[in-house]
Amino acid sequence: MTKKQQEPSGPEPSAVHSYTVSLHYDRRLYRQDIAGSIAHARMLARQGIMTDKDAELIGMGLVAIREEIERGEFPWRDELEDLHMNVEARLHERIGEVAGKLHTGRSRNDQVATAMRLYAKEACDKTLAGIRALQGALLKQAEANLTTVLPGYTHLQRAQPVLLAHHLLAYFHMLERDAERFRETRRRADVMPLGSAALAGAAYPLDRRWMAKELGFSAISKNSMDAISDRDFLLDYQAAAAIGMMHLSRLAEELVLWSSEEFGFVRLADAFTTGSSIMPQKRNPDFAELARGKTGRVYGHLVGLLTVLKGLPLTYNRDLQEDKEGFFDTADTLQATLEVFAPMIESMTVRAERMRQATEAGYMLATDLADYLARRGVPFRKAHGIVAELTKYAAATGKTYQQLSLEEYKKFSPDFAADVLEITEERSLAARDVPGGTAPERVAQALAEARKLLEAADGP
């Protein structure tokens, strides 16, 4: 066997090169990347590091390139690997050797970190707007159903009657916590790394604070090595997104259950259901089901980035190229889900009578009966046992509490009196008259406060 035969052939050169290419996903950073470059060039001119004429020529060239990209006319070249080198090469083609001055005092390391932070801030703003839209849809349904009663569940078993508005407000407040997390994420992303150069800082008198103001950052990074390698702001976004998708998945699960024939509490608009390929009667809640499924995908991206970062020494390592695809997909997935949920909630039809029937069919006034006995001096634990036996009896005889006679009540405790027959779902609701409770007046007040909170939310 010859030496040539013994040596395995290597991969095709194109396959080797394509392994490092990030252009197919990092090109979406073009606006942020170009904005950073324009600010950098203008700062260099302000500091006397390049002439005003050169800075103006570079700025005009970069604006023209941005317009080319937006028209779909930019000549992308995979062999240049990424967005940054594509823009730089194109700028050289348009304005000549002057383009080479742009990279003075800058590295791709701080360049991409800056673009990613700008993008993350914008993603937070879009996410916050999506959260506010969904909160608005929930409030509209809650305000339209302030007197609608449905079973509240524990262990997916009917537990106690609650107002639908109270139930919907629970999701409003989940989303409010999500909004708080994304506002904090935006604040943490609002730190400019530009000027950190490759890792040690630039060897030129850069005015970093001027650039930060120009790019809309409220602060500059304090340590160049940390600034280059920091991706915590992406973890912040993905962690907040994972929690947010979990909340949406819980709401999705309830929509799936509530829209089923077994529950029949709501009817989703046709735009948010699909039919079956074989069963023409089906109205499948596919949009809600997809949200449940996409939640796992968002979780995966968070774990993926944590895993990328866990073993990296300072400062930049090529592993950090893997910070983008998962983040972009997470932001896209969360935003799309929010955009679907707002109109899905707003357009759904509430079947209040079906909810009411489900409330009356169960034994959800059991706690009220135990409280009734406790107010008459019966220790609550004993009262609990009495009502448990009463409930078994009622179920065995096929009666609801309202169908039992006073004599039947007294078989289980002499402390029952005629007014026990007056315990209804309405009285049960009214009894929960504590802050945060489901009493109608408390819920009306909570709705007004939620509406005020939403109207006061004017951005990050």
Write out the catalytic residue numbers. Answer: 155, 276
- Do the Cβ atoms of 382 and 350 come closer than 8 Å? no
**First-to-last CA distance in the chain?**
70
- Specify burial of residue 289 (Cβ count, 10 A radius: 0-12, 13-18, 19+): middle
- Do the Cβ atoms of 136 and 342 come closer than 8 Å? yes
Spatial separation of the C-alpha atoms in residues 117 and 392, rounded to whole Å: 62
Q: What residues contact 413, with CB distance under 8 A and at least 6 apart?
A: 373, 378, 383, 386
Spatial separation of the C-alpha atoms in residues 145 and 430, rounded to whole Å: 16
SS3 at position 401: helix
Q: The tokens of 158 are what?
A: 């009917």
Phi, psi angles (nearest 5°) of residue 241 = -65, -40
Spatial separation of the C-alpha atoms in residues 324 and 124, rounded to whole Å: 15
Number of C-beta neighbours around residue 400 at 10 A: 13
